[in-house]
Amino acid sequence: MKYLFPIILASVLIVSCSGNSGDSFEKALNSNDLQTLRTEKTKLETERQAISEKMRQISDLIETLDTLKKVPLITTFKVKDTLFNHYLELQGSVKTKQNLVIYPEYSGILTKVYVREGQAVYKGQALAKIDDGGLGQQLAQLEIQADLAKTTFERQKRLWDQNIGSEIQFLQAKSNYEAQQKAINQIKQQIAKTVVKAPFSGTIDDVITEQGSVVVPGQSPLMRIVNLNDMYIETDVPESYITSVTPGRSVLVEFPILGSSHNGKIRQSGNFINPANRTFKVEVAVPNQDNTIKPNLTAKLKINDYTNDAALLVPLSIISENAEGQQYIYVVKDINNKNEGVAERVIIETGLAQNDLVEVISGIENGTEIIEEGARSVKDGQTVSIIQQ
């Protein structure tokens, strides 16, 4: 009812003005006289200005009477000390130090392949055999000659011990026997290279060269052996984190393809900065009891590079910035029993952000009442009404 009188007054003024000018307006239109029309136009413009001024006065009066319209409605929250963990998010790939393509050490025909793909093998197990090209026969002949050299040496030694015979005969027999032994050892080493053995325990992932093929050292890959027990994730970390990303830091590892995740720790941090991209490498060990994690699998890493047990966090959405580049938020002070208070702009300094929250380093303290909804529509020193705390 308190707004009814101003509205009725405005209506009466408009109607009265329009009623008085209606007759002259019709006469001016029907006169077809240029001067009369110009006079009427000037009169109407004067009336319009007068009506506009009266409408402005009525609007000011309504705004004065409508006290609720002048008080913005807001919501607030009290900032409290809370645990804040910041995570550096990176992408890495799974690797293993026991992922090897086996090459032959001897040239020849691959006569036997003892394993198949997917077969588990142990360290030192024979995987394949290469034709020795007659080395076995040479070894047999050398062993016969070595037996003779051994017998000759032993007889010469017995005579020499009895001071019978010349020293030169004894030394020649000894030298011949030792030379035969060295020749046998060399042949055995060559023959050992014809047997391809597992360098570590693992699984044969791929048999690359088929039985009967001619193989050459360093050129003919035979098979791939993989051990999935000692798996780790390797990733590149920007050099700016060299002091915060260190061995022992907690890491959340996620495998999007597998839909799984687990907690780990950095086990190794590189000591070399790559000049090409200014990064250093870190390793995170991953358990693989069920062997679902494979080499080169993509992983997402969230490395905990900062923790504050008593951080003051505010939403990023309520922070504004002035012309000087300073960040500020609005707080509420002097709250009365009607839940009305005064908005105050506070300059703050922020730290790290995580998701939609940012840590406030200075400018506010524990328990400060901060404006959330309506933070971008209030003004410094304005009275506000809190509808939710």
Q: Please list the rounded mean pLDDT of every run of 10 residues in the chain (389 residues).
A: 46 48 70 78 84 80 62 88 92 91 92 92 93 84 85 81 79 85 87 90 91 91 90 93 91 92 91 93 89 90 92 93 92 87 92 92 92 88 82
Residue (of 221, 181, 223, 222) closest to 202 by Cα position: 223
In angstroms, the Cα distances linking 29 to 34, 42, 361 are: 10, 14, 73
3-state SS, 240-269, equals HHCCCCCCCCEEEEEECCCCEEEEEEEEEE
Q: What is the pLDDT of residue 10?
A: 47
- pTM greater than 0.75: no
Q: Which one-letter DSSP state was computed for residue 221?
A: -
Residue (of 211, 228, 283) closest to 253 by Cα position: 283
Q: What is the pLDDT of residue 70?
A: 65
d(CA 314, CA 105): 65
Q: What is the pLDDT of residue 4?
A: 45
